[in-house]
């Protein structure tokens, strides 16, 4: 029995949950039926491998054997659900209810895993519900639990809830790390609160924390959506000082912000810089660049940019629409260009099959 359980444990440690299940199912030569320890070892393997269907089935098998699941059993099932999937949030919340019915106290690990399942299933209300459950149980939420709840609020564009949770962390003496503040920035971006997003970035810098590209890109997007193009450009220029390298998302967002501000020279400069850095503009950026050239009769630059578009999007030159796009006097719009690019991508996909 010990060797059998040890083999299952070893498979789980290697994240080989299929192997662990196979060992559990193949009980030839094992005279004793599986006990709680063996079940928990197999459940742990499924938890690490995010195999939630198998974990839920195993929990039912454990009960069918008239064995009593403990906190480890429920914790493993909760961990298996943390990737999020249809119905995962309700299943995860049901685990907390089952534990309470069996007079088992859900611990911080279980509740954090359940909150993660809710966050990744994009049900922010239920993630906040788990945080409230922790307080009701007298358990102090840690940075991870708060960070998960803030990320859930960000996914739901609930910027006010995200900021309230960040304030609650400060009141409890918990340090707001890069991940937490970055989630707050994302919440502000989705809630169109660009000034607050910039304040959060300033907080990072004030605490000598280096923001990552996703946080800066979210703040850039917040400025762009609010047509605060001058702030977007200022932030873009500061990225180098923060040791954050602008990626394609950064450039494309900055191009859109410049277009909102009618800064056509900046639009074309950004596109040229992307070419030098070998970064791929998206269809919107390419369309905006072409439109700016068309409106200002910059025919040489328009032709150059159009040639780049034809080069960057395989198959575009072969489409009849490409000749239409290049025709004199034709205004190029991002919507028009994007539709053609999408058509080419679909044709290329079908050709490769």
Q: Which of 92, 208, 102, 214 is nearest to 151 (CA)?
A: 214
pLDDT bucket at 206, cuts 50 / 70 / 90: confident
Residues 258/233, Cβ–Cβ less than 8 Å: yes
Predicted confidence (pLDDT) per residue in 82-106, tens digit: 887 778 889 999 999 999 998 998 8
pLDDT at 140 over 50: yes
Neighbours of 100 (CB within 10 A): 13
Average per-residue pLDDT for the chain:
83
Residue range 246-271: mean pLDDT, rounded: 91
pLDDT bucket at 313, cuts 50 / 70 / 90: low
Residues 148/115, Cβ–Cβ less than 8 Å: yes
pLDDT bucket at 312, cuts 50 / 70 / 90: low
* H/E segment holding residue 46: helix 36-48
Q: Which of 207, 208, 163 is nearest to 186 (CA)?
A: 163
Long-range contacts (CB closer than 8 Å, 24 or more residues apart) made by 137-140: 137/105, 137/106, 137/111, 139/107, 139/108, 139/111, 140/172
pLDDT at 331 over 50: no
Q: CA–CA separation, 165 vs 162, rounded Å?
A: 5
Predicted confidence (pLDDT) per residue in 241-257, tens digit: 888 899 999 999 999 99
Q: What is the pLDDT of residue 323?
A: 52
3-state secondary structure of 90: helix
In the chain, domain spans: 12-19+33-64, 143-245
pLDDT at 316 over 80: no
| Percent of the chain whose pLDDT exceeds 70 | 85
Determine the Cα angle at 284 with ends 312 and 198, to 5°: 120
């Amino acid at each position: 029995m010990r060797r059998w359980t040890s083999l299952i444990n070893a498979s789980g440690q290697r994240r080989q949950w299929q192997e662990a299940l196979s060992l559990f199912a193949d009980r030839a030569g094992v005279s004793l039926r599986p006990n709680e320890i063996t079940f928990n070892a197999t459940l742990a393997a499924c938890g690490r491998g995010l195999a939630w269907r198998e974990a839920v089935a195993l929990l039912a098998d454990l009960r069918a054997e008239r064995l009593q699941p403990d906190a480890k059993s429920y914790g493993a099932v909760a961990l298996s659900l943390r990737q999020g999937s249809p119905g995962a949030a309700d299943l995860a919340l049901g685990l907390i209810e089952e534990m309470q019915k069996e007079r088992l106290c859900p611990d911080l690990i279980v509740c954090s895993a359940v909150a993660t399942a809710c966050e990744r299933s994009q049900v922010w209300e239920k993630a906040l519900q788990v945080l409230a459950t922790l307080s009701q149980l007298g358990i102090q939420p840690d940075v991870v639990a708060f960070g998960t709840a803030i990320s859930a609020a960000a996914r739901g564009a609930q910027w006010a809830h995200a900021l309230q949770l960040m304030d609650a962390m400060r009141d409890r003496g918990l340090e707001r790390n890069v991940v937490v503040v970055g989630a707050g920035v994302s919440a502000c971006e989705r809630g169109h609160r660009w000034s607050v997003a910039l304040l959060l970035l300033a907080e990072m810098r004030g605490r000598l924390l280096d923001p990552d590209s996703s946080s800066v890109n979210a703040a850039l997007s917040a400025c762009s959506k609010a047509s605060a193009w001058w702030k977007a450009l200022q932030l873009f220029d500061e990225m180098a000082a923060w040791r954050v390298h602008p990626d394609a998302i950064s450039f494309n967002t900055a191009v859109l912000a410049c277009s909102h501000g009618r800064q056509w020279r900046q639009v074309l400069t950004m596109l040229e810089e992307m070419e030098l850095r070998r970064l791929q503009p998206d269809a919107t950026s390419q369309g905006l660049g072409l439109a700016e050239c068309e409106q200002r009769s910059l025919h040489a630059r328009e032709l150059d940019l159009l040639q780049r578009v034809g080069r960057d999007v395989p198959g575009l030159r072969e489409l009849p629409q490409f000749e239409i796009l290049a025709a004199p006097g034709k205004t190029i719009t991002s919507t028009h260009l994007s539709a053609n690019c999408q058509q080419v991508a679909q044709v290329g996909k079908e050709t490769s099959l």
